Amino acid sequence: MAGNSFGTLFRVTTWGESHGRALGAVIDGCPAGMPLSEDDLRAELILRRPGRRYTTPRREPDEPQILSGVFSGRTTGMPISVVVWNRDVDSSYYESIRETPRPGHADLAYVKKYGYENWDYRGGGRASGRETVGRVIGGAVAKKLLSCLGVLVTGYVVELGGVSFPKADDPEEALRSRLSPFRVLGNEEEAERLLREALSERDSLGGVVEVVAWGVPPGLGEPVFDKLKADLAKAMMSIPASVGFEVGWGFALAKARGSGARDPIVASAGEPVLGGERAGGMLGGISVGGPIRVRVAFKPTSSIMIPEKTVNIRTLEEEPIRVPGRHDPAIVLRAVAVAEAMAAIVLADHSLRAGLLSPVRLEWSASCERVWKLYEEFSPAS
Ligand SMILES: Cc1cc2nc3c(=O)[nH]c(=O)nc-3n(C[C@H](O)[C@H](O)[C@H](O)COP(=O)(O)O)c2cc1C
């Protein structure tokens, strides 16, 4: 099992390397009848795309082409295959560092596992952040599917370089981060200052993404190993550069007393619901209705010009390495789109598993369209 696929009924396979000809995704398990266009995918890809302010200067248009699974503008229930051609490949930098694995990147692990001769060292190959193009494509399909359940998946940066940024209390507020180049909900000047300072010192920043899924129905998640929180954890921790995961109050709950750690159960519109977000909207690994709130920590970009020690694979001598090339000063800005996509894939998969969506055919109604349009309303033009 090479682990290039994720999900049980809604299954996303990503393929392609950073400096190969193309990358893409195959999405299996999307029911028939859902309108799907390249515009739908493009709108989500823009939020992950390099070349925006304070991201890697690599210019990739990330134009998606749907090759299969859509006929007359609607899904057919067959595998949806999407390709994105790599347009701005420059592998020259990587020749000079081929024999010196970059500290913090996946080079050393790939050489040890697959062998030096078999390793695609260009731009990190499969371990490049570029692999996540396929995840965002899968996530766009999942988000559209979830629109029919009234579920909206949002994300934003809550921490950058150790500085906290505001959180969202409602879906519209959360969606506004899509219009911010820093994916924050306020205090953009501070985000820009932090990034400019790190860049001027040729350094990089880490951060934390909060993902909130609004309107999640109760009953998502299987009781033992396929708990919703377990699948979300795996999904998030599979994103390159992720280093931590929290549900609800997360690690803060470990410091609390039991008396302050439970969400009260309260009556709302004739229904028992959670009166807090300590548990992140799940109990026993199953959604109970209301928002699902999780956080993912991302390390600072490891490829920077400040030297670090490595070993030359040929000579076995230690030597310092500075990493030239085109890199993100803070992965976390672009990781928001990826974390949202992974959350949507998990929720779409569990919605099918719970029988809340038919695995065969979808009735695309005006209410599905209304929810999907909300993403469009908060989509940057480019
Ligand atoms: C959207 C995105 C962009 C990334 N950009 C870079 C980058 O420009 N330079 C870099 O060294 N790592 C980048 N990474 C992180 C590497 O892919 C990652 O550190 C590498 O695969 C090693 O995996 P690990 O950090 O999870 O151990 C990026 C990750 C993501 C999700």
Supply the pLDDT for residue 348. 98
Specify the residue with its C-alpha closest to ligand 1, atom 27. Answer: 241
DSSP string covering 123-157, please?
Answer: GGGGGSGGGHHHHHHHHHHHHHHHHTTT-EEEEEE
pLDDT score of 285 more than 80:
yes
Closest CA to 128 of 238, 206, 18, 23: 18
Supply the pLDDT for residue 279. 97
pLDDT score of 282 more than 80:
yes
Q: Would you place residue 54 in the very low, low, confident or very high pLDDT band (cuts 50, 70, 90)? A: confident
CA 78/CA 93 separation, integer angstroms: 41
Least confident span in 57-61, 194-198, 212-216? 57-61
The whole-number average pLDDT for the span 311-324 is 93
Q: Do 26 and 152 contact (CB within 8 A), yes or no?
A: no
Q: Give the Å distance between the CA of 176 and the centre of ligand 1.
A: 25
Size of the chain in residues: 382
SS3 content of the chain, % helix, strand, coil (to 5): 30, 20, 45
pLDDT score of 265 more than 70:
yes
Q: What is the mean pLDDT of the chain?
A: 95
Specify the residue with its C-alpha closest to ligand 1, atom 19. Answer: 241
Specify the residue with its C-alpha closest to ligand 1, atom 14. Answer: 129
Report CA torsion sign: 352, 40, 363, 13. Answer: negative
DSSP H or E run through 272: strand 271-274
Give yes or no for residue 127 CB within 6 A of ligand 1.
yes
Supply the pLDDT for residue 1. 60
User: Domain spans of the chain?
Assistant: 5-377
Q: Enter the tokens of residue 73.
A: 């503008």
Q: What is the pLDDT of residues 125-172, one digit of tens each?
A: 999 999 999 999 999 999 999 999 999 999 999 999 999 999 999 999
Q: Give the Å distance between the CA of 57 and the centre of ligand 1.
A: 15
Q: Do 188 and 180 contact (CB within 8 A), yes or no?
A: yes
Q: What is the pLDDT of residues 75-107, one digit of tens each?
A: 999 999 999 999 888 877 778 788 999 999 999
Contacts of 312 (CB under 8 A, 6+ apart): 99, 100, 318, 319
Give yes or no for residue 302 CB within 6 A of ligand 1.
yes
Is the entire prediction scored with pTM above 0.95?
yes
Q: Do 119 and 110 contact (CB within 8 A), yes or no?
A: yes
Q: Do 34 and 362 contact (CB within 8 A), yes or no?
A: yes
Give yes or no for residue 335 CB within 6 A of ligand 1.
yes
Domain 5-377, architecture per CATH: 4-Layer Sandwich (3.60)
Specify the residue with its C-alpha closest to ligand 1, atom 24. Answer: 241
Q: What is the pLDDT of residues 7-44, one digit of tens each?
A: 999 999 999 999 999 999 999 999 999 999 999 999 99
Q: What is the pLDDT of residues 210-260, one digit of tens each?
A: 999 999 999 999 999 999 999 999 999 999 999 999 999 999 999 999 999
Supply the pLDDT for residue 259. 97
Q: What is the pLDDT of residues 330-346, one digit of tens each?
A: 999 999 999 999 999 99
CA 381/CA 47 separation, integer angstroms: 10
Q: Would you place residue 51 in the very low, low, confident or very high pLDDT band (cuts 50, 70, 90)? A: low
Give yes or no for residue 327 CB within 6 A of ligand 1.
yes
Give yes or no for residue 100 CB within 6 A of ligand 1.
no
pLDDT score of 114 more than 70:
yes
The whole-number average pLDDT for the span 308-331 is 91
Closest CA to 248 of 211, 223, 207, 219: 211
Residue appearing with tokens 């030239």: 324
Closest CA to 156 of 207, 198, 217: 207
The whole-number average pLDDT for the span 304-325 is 93
CA 91/CA 96 separation, integer angstroms: 10
Closest CA to 262 of 273, 247, 284, 277: 277
